[in-house]
Chains A and B, each alone.
Chain A
């Protein structure tokens, strides 16, 4: 196997990326406009607001919830969410007795169509190393303390299955519309390191 050649330590990733783009553009291999389009899509259209709509729909529509738990790939596609890193999506429902939390110990696999690109904490080596060994301690560090009676299930995304945690609907949200509910759902709750907080009054 090829050993990576060392690079000049003073050359930052930013300098090297600019140099690489320079070479590839000069040779006609990439088009800066295509790059800009890809970037814009992930900055504006693909993100946790998509997953939040799926969760809110599941909270208000029991039939959708059943379809989501049976086949989350198809249920997400009903709302228009599909594509790369979403070929096979599985929804995991949190309850009073079971709490799910998702990781990718080998890289940073994540359900892009529903949650966008992963946040820093999800890609960080400490999270990836520790959540499969001491999840209760890790969740407490994030501020989520689970009762001793709650069973913790960790899901390591080592193949092409991508997981979405369906968080518990907070109490006191009976009168909210689907849209108002979606606004409460956070990215961190859909990965399983947080719960969804009731709205402030």
Chain B
């Protein structure tokens, strides 16, 4: 296969990524009030919303879409990932241990406490909307 052009003219950017959430209203609260993201878009879309959040540090950066998980394949997919402890997304933090403490105090459930691995400290939490989320502190 031909190599992609990486000179800049045709590069792609990761602009939006998504997690399937059980309940958009609950997800909005968790991702903003608890995790600390800020809402970027909230557009009515039929029975659901085009609901995205961004990091307050980078409001024009990558958006996370809190996508309704009502497709019949989503439930079994999420259940299988959660049972094995596999995160649906990963977010960067400055201090994984401090975040673990802050979020635990807020009642957030972690399936993996902070773990030092080579160049990264990771932890895995439950977003209360059917997903596990990994926190990553790059060292």
Tell whether A and B belong to one assembly: no
Contacts from B to A (Cβ < 8 Å): none
Contacts from A to B (Cβ < 8 Å): none
